Amino acid sequence: MPFSTVQRAIETAGLAVRGAFHPTPADGVPEVRPGQATVTLVLVGMSGRAQWPAFRGSPESADGQPNPLDRWGHRLLEDLADAFDAFPLEPFGGPPWWPFQRWAVRAESLHVSPLGLLIHAEHGLWHSYRGALAFAEALDLPARQDSASPCDTCATRPCLHACPVSAHASGGFAPASCANYLRTPAGEDCLTGACAARRACPIGQHHLQGPDQARFHLSAFVRSTPA
pLDDT in tens, 15-24: 999 999 999 9
pLDDT value for 83: 97
The pLDDT tens digits for 187-203 are: 999 999 999 999 999 99
Read off the pTM. Answer: 0.94
| Spatial distance between the Cα atoms of 107 and 103, rounded to a whole number of angstroms | 6
| Spatial distance between the Cα atoms of 31 and 201, rounded to a whole number of angstroms | 38
Backbone angles phi, psi at 2, to 5 degrees: -65, 140
pLDDT value for 102: 97
Residue type, 217: H
* Neighbour tally for 85: CB within 10 Å: 12
DSSP label at residue 102: H
**In the chain, where the domains are located:** 3-149, 154-224
Sign, CA dihedral 114-118-122-128, equals negative
- pLDDT at residue 222 greater than cutoff 80: yes
Residue 16's beta-bridge partner residues?
A: 45
The pLDDT tens digits for 33-55 are: 999 999 999 999 999 999 999 99
Confidence of residue 94 (pLDDT cuts 50, 70, 90): confident
Helices 68-84 + 3-13 axis angle, to 10: 150
Quote the percentage of the chain above a pLDDT of 70: 100
- pLDDT at residue 170 greater than cutoff 80: no
